[in-house]
Structure 1
Amino acid sequence: MVEVPEEFARNTIGREGDPGRAWVASLPGLVDEFLQQWSCTPTGPVTSGGVGIILPVQRHDGSPAVLKISFTHPGNMYEAHAFAVWGGRGAVLLYERDDARFAMLLEQAEWQTLDDLGDVDAATVVIGQLARRLAIPAPPDLPRLSDRADEWEQTLREDAEELGHPLSHRALGAAVATIQDLCRKQPDTMAHGDLHFGNVVRAQREPWLVVDPKGLAGDLAFDALRVLAGGADSLLAADDLGAEVRRRLSIFADAAEIDRERATRWAQTDAAMAALSGRKGGHPDWRVQACEQVAELLA
């Protein structure tokens, strides 16, 4: 029986309560069941992410893979769908899936991510090129970002009012305008939905592949702020934060072959939403303040 990492178990139970406790208790049995069902043998210890565990395994044909089992979280509902649509195009391959129990057998990659590259500009080019490769036609059964326009606009206005308008009228107005202008009509293409440096891993089949997609259909520029999160320390230490933000957004937009203004507007809107939701959710002050700065500067 595998051992579930203690910190992961503690965090899951703290976040999910009794359902999380029951799921954590079931994990060793689930792992054994999927190892048998998919004819795999463990080759290393269990590691974990935010909502799931990962176990390196060897498949029946001797090839390496990873078994991933996630808590039944809405954010993971379409992960396997995205991998299936891409079929290894810029993303790790999907070998097996059990959607009801949020389990997948995936291509094994390396532990190095774009965070480890040590060159923010080069990493931003890589992630932009991957975003473009991922932007293929999306099937009709995936959620559309455009369907969230009304919800996002309402949440922005309500959160700003509830929090005493921490953002300027200009920053809030720019975010609302972007939702009205860009969100309701979007391309029916695949978008990762959480494309940051930590979700791009070294691989053998290709130099870099993405993991942990949300499985969405919409504008690939939607991920612009998440791309900026790579190299956040050097970004926030820049002498001119606004100029550096725009410079990195331009690198991403050019590599992804998207309009720079579109990437800038999405980054500003996402920063505004993150700043307000972060204040409500008690996120660290530095993160909230950074999002507020970006939202104001890009407005």
Structure 2
Amino acid sequence: MELTLPRRLVEFQQPAAEGWLAGLPELVEEVLGRWELTVERVVAPGGRHSMAVLVTDAEGRRAALKISAPDRPAAVEEAALRRWQGLGAVRVLRCAPEAGALLLERLHGETSLRALPEAKAMLEALSVARRLWVEPGAGHPFPSVAEHTARQAELGRQAAPLAGPEAAGLLAEALDLRDSLVSGAQEEGVLLHGDFRQGAVLASDAERAPWLAVGPEPLVGERAFDLARLVRDRLHDLVASPGAAAITRRRVAQLAEAVDVPADRLRAWALYRAVLSGVLSLAAGRRAEGEMLLEFATWL
């Protein structure tokens, strides 16, 4: 069958990845042949940095083939998934790092925690997160939160002129906040998902757990950093709610209490991550998304 690139991948890829994107159909076909996989369908609308294809192997077992962009090393994701050993996260079956390819157990990609009522979804998300926060292990390949956010900060500075003067001012404040968070970190680092949110936790038929995390961007650092993305989950619904600012602050307090992290650090990381994402969205021309993220940041 002809492999059509998913819409979100095409829309959000950066110019530096154009060569990879152009050769992606051929790369997927090569991996399919190498591992003797039969295609069922391409997952749509897909991710922003990877392509997922539902497949069956030579023995008829269902799986998902994921091919990631060059800036998302498959070997690092594989290392995290193997460290978790299926406890809280999807299991990896095979990996071809040079192709950015991972063969993963099949989950219900159409059903994430967002299908649940908000309160129930948050409880399930925290249950999954607790399983993921383990020791990273000796000689691990995972970058630290400090290293990761330093690279992010540089991207933010480059994007600031395109985002407008008001966004640039918010970014400067957020980067100062990031510096104080990194220098003042006291919690011993654990393995983090890195992009933990309700949409990254999918329904599973596995006997070990009904919900499993996918798509990690693994880091080592404090748990508050992982929770920070969860703070702004279902942002469209939040923006439309009366008293959105109060709801947001209450969510911070509830999440911090639930896993015993300092509420001020969770609030600060949530603010930093929202501002950075907002600036990058504005610079990329996604104005509605960027403005919504910056508005959220003001509630914190």
RMSD, matched Cα:
3.0
* Distance of aligned partners of 1:187 and 1:76 in 2 relative to their CA distance in 1, 3 Å threshold: farther
Q: Look up the match of 2:21.
A: 20
Distance in 2 of aligned mates of 1:182 and 1:67: 37
Of stretches 12-21 and 179-188 in structure 1, the one that deviates more from structure 2 is 12-21
Distance in 1 of aligned mates of 2:270 and 2:9: 33
Q: Look up the match of 1:137.
A: 135
Distance in 1 of aligned mates of 2:252 and 2:259: 10
Distance in 1 of aligned mates of 2:244 and 2:92: 40
Distance in 2 of aligned mates of 1:275 and 1:11: 20
Q: CA deviation at 1:132?
A: 2.1
1:44 aligns with 2:47: no
Q: Is the 8 A contact 1:56 1:64 kept in 2?
A: yes
The TM-score, its normalising length taken from structure 1, stands at 0.83
Q: Percent identity?
A: 23
* Distance of aligned partners of 1:9 and 1:155 in 2 relative to their CA distance in 1, 3 Å threshold: closer
Q: Look up the match of 1:30.
A: 31
**Structure 2 unaligned runs (5+)?**
none
Q: Look up the match of 1:176.
A: 175
Distance in 1 of aligned mates of 2:40 and 2:159: 45
Distance in 2 of aligned mates of 1:168 and 1:13: 22
Q: Look up the match of 2:199.
A: 198
| Cα displacement string for residues 189-222 of structure 1 (whole angstroms, at most 9, x for unaligned residues) | 1111111221100112211100010121112322
Pick from 285, 296, 299 the counterpart of residue 298 of structure 2: 296
Matches within 5 A, 1:1-299: 2-8=1-7, 11=10, 16-35=17-36, 42=38, 44-48=40-44, 49-50=46-47, 51-58=50-57, 60=59, 63-74=61-72, 76=74, 78-111=76-109, 112-117=111-116, 119-139=117-137, 140-153=140-153, 165-167=165-167, 171-172=170-171, 175-184=174-183, 185=185, 187-205=188-206, 206-283=209-286, 285-298=287-300
Distance in 1 of aligned mates of 2:282 and 2:84: 36
Look up the equivalent residue of 2:146 and give its one-letter code. Answer: S
The TM-score, its normalising length taken from structure 2, stands at 0.82
Distance in 1 of aligned mates of 2:12 and 2:234: 31
* Distance of aligned partners of 1:259 and 1:59 in 2 relative to their CA distance in 1, 3 Å threshold: farther
Q: Secondary structure at the match of 2:295?
A: helix
Q: Is the 8 A contact 1:167 1:296 kept in 2?
A: no
Of stretches 224-233 and 211-220 in structure 1, the one that deviates more from structure 2 is 224-233
Look up the equivalent residue of 2:103 and give its one-letter code. Answer: L
Distance in 2 of aligned mates of 1:23 and 1:209: 27
Aligned residues between the structures: 288
Distance in 2 of aligned mates of 1:269 and 1:28: 40
Q: Is the 8 A contact 2:133 2:191 kept in 1?
A: yes
Distance in 1 of aligned mates of 2:254 and 2:198: 14
Look up the equivalent residue of 2:293 and give its one-letter code. Answer: C
Q: CA deviation at 1:167?
A: 4.4
Look up the equivalent residue of 1:146 and give its one-letter code. Answer: A
Q: Secondary structure at the match of 2:54?
A: strand
Q: Is the 8 A contact 1:132 1:220 kept in 2?
A: no
